[in-house]
Structure 1
Amino acid sequence: MDYRHNGTATTTAQTTPMRPGTPENEAITPAVRTNPFGTPYGSLPASGMGSTSALNMQSQRYFHSRRIKKGEVERPWLDRKDPKEKWVTIIPIIGIFIGLAVSGFLVWDGLRTVVNHVYCPVLDETFSGGLNSKVWTKEVEVGGFGNGQFEQTTNTDENAFIQNGMLHIKPTLQDPKLMDTNNVINLLDSKQCTSTIWSNCVAATNTTNGTVVNPVKSARINTKAGATIKYGRVEVVAQLPAGDWLWPAIWMLPVNDTYGPWPTSGEIDIMESRGNNYTYAQGGNNIVSSTLHWGPNPSNDGWWQNNVKRNALHTTYSKGFHTFGLEWSEKYVFSYIDTRLLQVLYANFDKPFWQKGNFPVSDSNGTRLTDPWSQTGRDSTPFDQDFYLILNVAVGGTNGWFKDGASGKPWVDASPTAKRDFWDARKQWEPTWKKDGQMIVKSVKMWQQQGYKGCR
C-alpha cells in the first residue's frame, strides 16, 4: 500500500493490521506466538511472555506423570489361579534333572566299563635301523591271498624299502615281457615262495586264452617271526596311498590255525581302504573300514555283522599321517584312529561267536555246518590265540572289494581275463599312482596285555 507524503512515495513493508470496522489509526497488537520447539514455558523469562497469564505458565511442563502406588492396579489373575499352570514350570525342571541324571549315569557307566590294562612292550619299531629281519618277513607269492588280487608280492627293495627313516610299501608295474609273451613265474624253483600252497607260488601268461601273470608287483610284510600278541594293543602311524585300485591294509592273522583254516581261526582288520579319490562310489582314501572275519568256512564269514567305516574330516587319509590302533582283551576288541575316543569297530565278547553268526544248518552244497569254537567255553574264541601283524598294499582283486561297474572299473570280477583287462587299462590308472601311490609307515608299536604270554 502506497502513502504519498509531501510528494514523496513511502512504501511500508510491514503494516499494522486493522480490525475491521475500526478507524485506521487504531492498530491491533498481535499476540506473541510461541515456538513449540523452543525453551519450555517454565524456563522463559517473564519479559518474554508478554502478559500476566504468560507469567503463570512459567511453572508448567510439557508432561506430568503420576506414580501409581502399589496395589492400586487391579490384578485379577492373582485371584483366579489355574492349578495346571504350575506344571508349565515344574515339567521342564523335572526334564532338566532327568537329563542331568541320565547324562551322569552314562558318563559313570562309560568310565566304569573302560579298563585300563597294564601292558608289556613287544615291539617299538621306528625303522631307524632299517627293516629288522628278526621281526619282519617279506612275503613272496603270486596267489592273491584268496581275494584274487592282482599283485605279486616281492622281497625286493623295489616294493618295500626304508627312506628318510620310514617304511615305504610301493606298487610297481610288472615286467611287460612277462605280460606280452608266454611266460611262467615259478617261485618254487627259486625257493622264494613263502606260501605252502602251490597255486600261490606259480603263475603263467598264456597269450592264447588271455590269462596273464600278476600285472603289478607290491609288498606284504608281517611280524610273525618276531612280534605276536594274545590280547594287547597295536598302533601303526601311517599315511595311506592315493591311486586308483590300490588296496592298503593293516591287519592281523593267527599264528596257528587252531580252530581250522581261514576264516575259522579269525582275522582282525584294523584298517582297510582304497586309493581311489573321494568321488569313488564305494568310498576312496577318505574312508577306512575295520572288521573281524570269523565263520565255519569262507562262504559263511560273519565279517558283515561288525564292519564299520570311518570318514576323514574335511581331508583324506592320504594327506597326512594317522595312528591306526587296536585294543583287544578277553572281553572286547575295538579299533580306533588317532585316539581311543575315536573308535571305529567295537565288538563285545558277550556271547559265543557261533550264536552271533546265526549260521545256516548247512552250506550251499549240503555239507552240515558245525560249531568249531564251543569246546573252549570262552566267548572270545576264536580271538583268543596269538596273532601277528601284517602291513601291505594290494592292487585290484576279484572278491568285490571294488564293485563291478562302479566309477570306471576296467575289469569284471568273474571274467577269466580280469588281470589282462586291468593291465590293458594301465594308461588310465598308472598316472594316478605317480605322486602318492605308496603307503608310508612312520612307526609300529605292539603291547602284550599283562597276565598273558609272559607279561606279568
Structure 2
Amino acid sequence: MKMSQILFAFFVILSQGIIDSQYIPPQATVLPLRPVGIRMSIPDEDGISLVAYHVKFNSEFRGLEAGTIARDITKVRDSKWTYEDRSTKLKEGDVIYYWIHVVYEGLGYNLLEQQHVVNEFYDYNGVPIEGSAGPGPGVSTSCSPTLTKHFGVNAEEQSICGGQLIFEETFDNQNAVNNLKWTTVEQFPGNPDYEFVVYRNHKENVNVENGKLIVTPTLLDNTCGSDFVRDGNLTLHKCTGQPGTRECQRVTQGFHILPPVISGRINTKNLFSFLYGRIVIRAKLPKGDWIYPVLALEPVDEQGSYVGNDARFNVQLRVSSVLGNPVLKSAEGDELGGRILRGGFLSRTTLTTANLTTLRANDGTKYKTSSKLWSDDYHIYEMEWKPEVITVKVDGESYGEKWFDSPLQTPFYITLGVAVGGVAEFPDGCKSQDYTKPWRNVESKALLHFYLAQPTWSKNWKPESKSLQVDYINVWAL
C-alpha cells in the first residue's frame, strides 16, 4: 500500500478525534500556472512534519476523499510546504476544491472545505501574468518558445514550453532508486578516469533513505576479504556494460589487481536527456581522502560532442566537483582540497601510451573557494547551459562562465555517483595532510600502489561523511 493511502486511511480514522484541537493549519496559497500547472503551499511552522494536499477540480468533495490529486509533502523548501506539478491544465472559471492535512507536533489536523476560483495565472517564478484571465473553452493555452530540447525514453524528442520543468526528482516516498528515471550502473570503469572502483547495484552503495539518494563507497576487502583483491575473479551479473568485456569481468593477474573500492553511480541515459537548459541539484558532498563526487552531465554521443577548431572527446559538464581530501596541496603548494568548488565544461583527450589519459586537455571549469569545507553542509549547485555560454552557480551566486565559439550540439544525460582515485583528478606529487599521493597517474602499477596505501587513506573515511547525499534535482527549459 502506498504511503499516501496509508496516511489517508489514518486521517479518516483520526479526523473526529482531532477536530476539537486548538491548532488550526495555515491557509494555503494557490497559484494556477502558465502554460500549465498548479502550485499550492503553506508557510512552515515549528512542529510541522508533513503536509498532505487533496484536490479536485470543478467537483466538490463528499467527505474525506483522496481526490484527483493526493500528495504527501515530507520536506520543507524555502520555508514553505509546497506541492507543484507542470501537467494540470486550468482555465479561467475553474474551481479548485481542496482540503489539507497537517501533521503538527506528532498529531494530525485537517483544514476542510477549501476552494479557489481561477481568475489569474502566474509564471513559473510565481509572478502574476498581466491580462492572464485565461483563454475560454476550446482555446489553447499559449506556450513560449524555447531553445531547450527534451528527449525521453530511447531519445524520443518531447514537446515543451519555455520555463517548463522537464525533469524532477525529489526521492520522496521511495525506498529505492526509481528505475523509470534512473539506471543504476554496475560495471568496471574505464576511459577517461579509470577510477579505482567497481560500480555495484547494491543497497549498501546506492540507496534512498529519508527522501534522499545516498551513494556510499565501501572497501572490497570488507565484502570479499583481503586476498580477493590480489587473487580474485569478479564477474558482475547485473552488468550494465558490454558483456564479455573488461567492463563486466576482471581477473587478477600479477600487479593488475581488482579495484579495492566498491561504489555507486546512477544515470538517466536512454531515459532522459536534454540539449540546453538549467539544472539545479541540492546535495551534501562526500568527504574522505581521494574520494570525489560525480554530479555531471555526459553526452549521449559517447564519442564526444564539442565542435570547434579541433575534435575533443570525453566531454563532461560538471554541475559540481569537490575533491574529498579536507587538506590537499599540489606539489607547488596550491590548495586543491575540500574548500575548492569546481564546475563547468571539461574535456579530455586519450593518450595511446599505456591506454591512460592526460589530466585535462581542455579544462573550462571555474572555481570558488570557501572558508569551510563544501562537504560540511548541503548546498544548491546550479548550471545554466545555453548555446554560447555555460554559467555555474552555488546557493544562487554565480561564480563562473565558459563561452563557446561553436556550441555543444548533442543532448546530455544526468550522472550522479561517487568515484575514488583514478588517473585524472589528482595531480602527481600532491600531498594530503601528512602524506604524498601514493600513485602516479601514468604508471602501470597505479592501482596496486593505491591499494598498498589503503591503511593510510581509509582511516580518513568516516561513515557519517563519506557518502554523497542528494536531496533533489530539477531541470528547467530555458
Structure showing the higher helix proportion among its residues: 1
* 2:454 partner letter: R
Per the alignment, residue 40 of structure 1 pairs with none
d(CA) in 2 for partners of 1:432 and 1:294? 30
d(CA) in 2 for partners of 1:169 and 1:145? 22
d(CA) in 2 for partners of 1:337 and 1:183? 43
d(CA) in 1 for partners of 2:229 and 2:416? 31
Per the alignment, residue 391 of structure 1 pairs with 416
Q: Does residue 163 of the first structure (1) align with residue 209 of the second (2)? A: yes
Specify the SS of the correspondent of 1:288. Answer: strand
Per the alignment, residue 203 of structure 1 pairs with 250
Q: Does residue 123 of the first structure (1) align with residue 167 of the second (2)? A: yes
Per the alignment, residue 77 of structure 2 pairs with none
* 2:321 partner letter: E
Q: What are the residue-to-residue correspondences of 1:206-245 with 2, within 5 Å? A: 206=253, 209-245=254-290
d(CA) in 2 for partners of 1:302 and 1:276? 20
Per the alignment, residue 133 of structure 1 pairs with 179
Residue among 271, 278, 286 paired with 2:339: 286
* 1:121 partner letter: L
Per the alignment, residue 85 of structure 2 pairs with none
Q: Does residue 270 of the first structure (1) align with residue 319 of the second (2)? A: yes
Per the alignment, residue 403 of structure 2 pairs with 348
Specify the SS of the correspondent of 1:421. Answer: helix
Specify the SS of the correspondent of 1:307. Answer: strand
Q: Could you give the per-residue CA deviations for residues 198-237 of structure 1, whole angstroms, max 9, x where no partner exists?
A: 232232223xx22210100001111124322111110110
d(CA) in 2 for partners of 1:196 and 1:161? 25
Residues 287 and 465 in structure 2, CA contact (< 8 A), matched pair in contact too: yes
d(CA) in 2 for partners of 1:420 and 1:265? 26
Q: What are the residue-to-residue correspondences of 1:12-23 with 2, within 5 Å? A: none
The number of aligned residues is: 298
d(CA) in 2 for partners of 1:179 and 1:412? 24
1:294 deviates by 4.4
Structure 1: 4+ residue segments shifted above 3 A = 177-181, 257-266, 278-282, 293-305
Q: Could you give the per-residue CA deviations for residues 389-442 of structure 1, whole angstroms, max 9, x where no partner exists?
A: 111110011235243353321223233332222222222111211131111111
Q: Which of structures 1 and 2 has the bigger CA Rg?
A: 1
Q: Which of 1 and 2 has higher RCO (CA within 8 Å, sep 6+)?
A: 1
Residues 134 and 226 in structure 1, CA contact (< 8 A), matched pair in contact too: yes
- Percent identity among equivalent residues? 24
Per the alignment, residue 469 of structure 2 pairs with 440
Residue among 308, 333, 336 paired with 2:390: 333
d(CA) in 1 for partners of 2:315 and 2:442? 26
* 2:219 partner letter: L
1:186 deviates by 2.8
The 1:242/1:388 distance shift into structure 2, 3 A limit, reads same
Structure showing the higher strand proportion among its residues: 2
Q: Could you give the per-residue CA deviations for residues 276-329 of structure 1, whole angstroms, max 9, x where no partner exists?
A: 0135445211112123234786679975452322112x2111110111111012
* 1:129 partner letter: N
Q: Does residue 406 of the first structure (1) align with residue 447 of the second (2)? A: no
* 1:267 partner letter: Q
d(CA) in 1 for partners of 2:389 and 2:413? 18
Q: Does residue 306 of the first structure (1) align with residue 335 of the second (2)? A: no
1:180 deviates by 4.9
d(CA) in 2 for partners of 1:216 and 1:302? 24
* 1:437 partner letter: K
1:333 deviates by 1.4
Residues 172 and 218 in structure 1, CA contact (< 8 A), matched pair in contact too: yes
Unaligned runs of 5+ in 2: 1-146, 148-160, 352-356
Q: Could you give the per-residue CA deviations for residues 330-367 of structure 1, whole angstroms, max 9, x where no partner exists?
A: 2321111111x4223x1223x2xxxxxxxxxxxxxxxx
Specify the SS of the correspondent of 2:269. Answer: coil
Residues 215 and 420 in structure 1, CA contact (< 8 A), matched pair in contact too: no
Per the alignment, residue 172 of structure 1 pairs with 218
Q: CA RMSD in A?
A: 2.9
Residues 140 and 154 in structure 1, CA contact (< 8 A), matched pair in contact too: yes
d(CA) in 2 for partners of 1:347 and 1:276? 26
d(CA) in 1 for partners of 2:304 and 2:289? 37
Residues 344 and 366 in structure 2, CA contact (< 8 A), matched pair in contact too: yes
Residue among 441, 447, 467 paired with 1:419: 447
The 1:304/1:120 distance shift into structure 2, 3 A limit, reads same
d(CA) in 2 for partners of 1:337 and 1:418? 34
d(CA) in 2 for partners of 1:415 and 1:302? 17
Q: Could you give the per-residue CA deviations for residues 41-62 of structure 1, whole angstroms, max 9, x where no partner exists?
A: xxxxxxxxxxxxxxxxxxxxxx
Specify the SS of the correspondent of 1:419. Answer: helix
The 1:318/1:258 distance shift into structure 2, 3 A limit, reads closer
Q: Does residue 318 of the first structure (1) align with residue 365 of the second (2)? A: no
